[in-house]
Amino acid sequence: MNIVIIGYYGNNFGDLLMLKSLLSERRAGVVYTVLTYGDGEALKQQGFIRQGAITVVELNKANRWLAYKTVIKCSAIVWGGGTCFMDEGGTGGVKYMALARLFGAHVIYAGIGVDNHKKLKTRLILFFATVMATAFYIRDSASLLAVRKINPWARRDKIKQSVDLAYALGTDDAGAGGDLESAGDYIIVCLRDLQGYGEQSSGDIYSQLLDVSIRICWRLRINRIGIFNADAEVDTGVSRYAQSELKDRGFTVFNIAGSDIERSMAYIKGARHILTARLHPAVVAYSLGTPFSLYNYSDKNKKFTAETQTETCLIERGAIDEFMPTYTVGVSAVATTQRQRAQSTISEIYRLLN
């Protein structure tokens, strides 16, 4: 049996979490191949990829025929989590999914989200995906409603609400925090490159978010800040900006590479607060009981706080200066339930593939 998992991956913290979760129930005798839109060489360095002897194919022109050949031969193809249908270029890998379906493979979308889908092209792609898929597992109720509006004729047992696959990783995956380079109290700042998002200048947003982080440090009487680079292919520039600005303001800063997911989770677990524009540092913070503040650059962030009833942690666009952080958050029963649901979804997916 050959299973293909497709997604962005590369160096992206959130996508790597979801991929590791999907591979947590690998079956003996099954050949796994990951098709990545991100950096294939970086993905090959992940411990869970090397230890599992998993093949990685980067989706580029040089590997085009290898990717097609892999898809044609697979028994099943799974889109491994994240926002994959949106006007800003998210097609859910539909050409690979369609090719696999043409040759008789199961097609599964696992733990996905839907963002802006006003364009006719996006809506048609989403409709086609719901028609050809064996199963659709959707991570939030707003995305579920969007999918059912696009295809109201789809069977209810085919399109289901799930949760973010990253929840499947438990506290053990956060590793031991004793060897972290930053002993003592610290907060974490995770900016995202916001070029092309919204009408406000991205530079102004970065500056305002850093001002919030400084207020958090003053409130907690902390002088150490970890700069979390959640995607080295996208966010390195803005992470360097944050490091430089905070150093100039007298803070001690250190770097956290999101591509090292176990160590990153350990840092999140040990932090006094997380200020992030990226979704998955907030997902992990919520799961581990670390206080967080999440900037609403995308509707997926707002959907997350709605699903988890943490709306007070959301920093709304245009209202950054007025935001009041929350400093006391513990591991909730809801977070525990989310972990169980994610693990149950992954188990159900593998049962479908048998």
pLDDT (tens digit per residue) in 215-274: 999 999 999 999 999 999 999 999 999 999 999 999 999 999 999 999 999 999 999 999
Residue 177 has what pLDDT? 47
Counts of helices then strands in the chain (DSSP H, E): 13, 14
Q: Which domains does the chain have, with CATH numbers?
A: 2-162 (3.40.50.2000), 172-335 (3.40.50.2000)
Chain centroid, CA 214 distance in Å: 26
| Residue 344 neighbours by CB distance under 10 Å | 13
3-state class (DSSP) for residue 134: coil
The pLDDT of residue 152: 96
Q: What are phi and psi of 91, to 5 degrees?
A: -115, 5
Q: Which residues of the chain are under the pLDDT cut of 50?
A: 176-178
What is residue 142's predicted lDDT score, i.e. its pLDDT?
Answer: 93
Cross-strand bridge partners of residue 110: 80
Q: What does the alpha-carbon distance between residue 98 and residue 74 come to, in Å, rounded to a whole number?
A: 12
CA atoms within 13 A on the CB side of 91: 9
The pTM score is 0.93
pLDDT in tens, 33-49: 999 999 999 999 999 99
Distance CA 206, CA 238 (A): 8
pLDDT given at position 200: 72
Helices 120-132, 94-102: axis angle to 10 degrees equals: 30
279: Cβ contacts below 8 Å, ≥ 6 apart? 14, 294, 298, 300, 301, 304
pLDDT for 175 equals 61
Q: How far apart are CA 341 and CA 353, in angstroms?
A: 19
What pLDDT sits at residue 331?
65
Conformational region of residue 82, where left means phi above 0, alpha means psi within -120 to 50, and beta covers everything else: left
CB atoms within 10 A of CB 70: 22
Sequence-separated (6 or more) residues with CB below 8 Å from residue 273: 187, 188, 216, 220, 290, 291, 292, 293, 325, 327
- The C-alpha atoms of residue 291 and residue 26 are separated, in whole angstroms, by 33
Bridge partners (DSSP) of residue 303 are: none
pLDDT at residue number 337: 87
**Alpha-carbon distances of 69 from 19, 33, 35, 127, 271, rounded to whole Å:** 22, 12, 12, 26, 45
